Amino acid sequence: MSFSINDACWHHYPQDEIRRLMADHPLLFPGGPPDLDPYEPRYLLNARADAQYTDAWGCVWTTPDDGITGTVTGHAIVTWDALNTYQSPDPAETDGVYPRDWDAVATSFKSAKSEGRLRTGGLTHGHTFLRLCDLRGYQNLLFDMTDEEPRLWELIEMVEAFNSGIVQRLLDLGAEWISYPEDLGMQVGPMLSPEQFRTYIKPSYQRLMKPARERGVIVHMHSDGDIRTLVDDLIEGGVEVINLQDLVNGIDWIAEKFAGKVCIDLDIDRQDVVPRGTPAQVDALVREEVEKLGSREGGLMMIHGWYPGVPLENVRALMDAMENYAGFYS
């Protein structure tokens, strides 16, 4: 069970209420509340409302609220002429969005090994398809795929080479788990057709995941949205742990597709029951998911990201349910 508190929550809710919730749920927050009072999060570079942020690819991010990751509003390669002089960033210096200190990664891996924890790392969120969207713009990219634009392959190769540099560095440092997070789904269906995914994105995924699989490293994939028409391709491509959203894909569908076969890292609802239901409904949702997807043999993890807009009584109900059902079997 994993519970993440978005930084924006600290200025949308009374901080003492957040601290109380964290203190009351030691399974979810073994370290307890933060020491600083008042707590002032160090907002990510692309999650600051007072300034736009230009990442290492030259894409400009904007957000309306401190703590909420922004969206790309300035694309680096709007016209193909820009590709002629474009230089990709260096994976030795950045993950593509933020600077990366590989010495710090090595130190964290050594600490994890000495403490008996998995050495985990990953590509930045939106490493391939969304990176192409950031560079070209979503509409332009979909037209590129539809028109079979030949220069798109040059851009894909550039993005893949950068990602490969990240993966290889993680492997060289002894990673045991590598995540490949990328949102592919919308509210209904994926953001690109299955045919476009298989043509332009899946081959890169397979090449990026292959070195990890060959070394016995666990391959984890995250995607928000409805990805039901893409999951077979994801699993075939090498994904061993699939992190997907519950209600948009359907609990029963997830159970039929994955339970007992592929490790499920379930993203607990952030759109319907948790923000708009009753505490009893929140509890019932988590219990249903554990009953249908969990087993004594394992294969189920659950995660929730708390964002502003959820009633505090529902937040407490969700935290209670996650702790109460963490070891529950029907």
pLDDT tens-digit series, residues 58-99: 999 999 999 999 999 999 999 999 999 999 999 999 999 999
Angstrom distance (rounded) from CA 77 to CA 309: 35
Quick one: which of 125, 124, 123, 132 has its CA closest to 200? 132
Angstrom distance (rounded) from CA 254 to CA 22: 30
Is the C-alpha dihedral spanning 43, 45, 47, 51 positive or negative? positive
Confidence of residue 197 (pLDDT cuts 50, 70, 90): very high
Angstrom distance (rounded) from CA 205 to CA 198: 10
Using omega within 30 degrees of 0 as the cis cutoff, is the peptide bond preceding 26 cis? no
Token pair recorded at residue 247: 């209600």
- In-domain check, residue 2: yes
pLDDT of 329 strictly over 70? no
SS3 119: coil
Sequence-distant (6+) residues with CB within 8 A of 192 are 129, 142, 145, 184, 200, 201
- In-domain check, residue 281: yes
Rounded-to-10 torsion of CA 207, 57, 51, 184 = -30
- In-domain check, residue 29: yes
Sequence-distant (6+) residues with CB within 8 A of 32 are 22, 23, 26
Q: At what angle do helices 151-172 and 129-136 cross, to 10 degrees?
A: 130
pLDDT tens-digit series, residues 6-18: 999 999 999 999 9
Mean pLDDT (the chain, rounded): 97
Prediction pTM value: 0.95
Contact 27, 1 (CB under 8 A): yes
Q: What percent of the chain has pLDDT over 70?
A: 99
Quick one: which of 311, 303, 207 has its CA closest to 263? 303
Provide the number of structural domains found in the chain. 1
- In-domain check, residue 37: yes
pLDDT tens-digit series, residues 258-285: 999 999 999 999 999 999 999 999 999 9
Domain residues for 270? 1-42+240-330
Confidence of residue 52 (pLDDT cuts 50, 70, 90): very high
Angstrom distance (rounded) from CA 241 to CA 122: 13
- In-domain check, residue 292: yes
Could you tell me which residues are beta bridge partners of residue 220? 179, 241
- In-domain check, residue 189: no
Cα–Cα distances (Å) from 150 to 9, 147, 285, in that order, read: 45, 9, 47
Angstrom distance (rounded) from CA 269 to CA 258: 18
Angstrom distance (rounded) from CA 148 to CA 211: 29
- In-domain check, residue 252: yes
Range with lowest mean pLDDT among 30-44, 163-177, 209-223, 243-257: 30-44
Angstrom distance (rounded) from CA 37 to CA 26: 19
pLDDT of 330 strictly over 80? no
Token pair recorded at residue 85: 């002089």
Angstrom distance (rounded) from CA 125 to CA 95: 10
Sequence-distant (6+) residues with CB within 8 A of 252 are 292
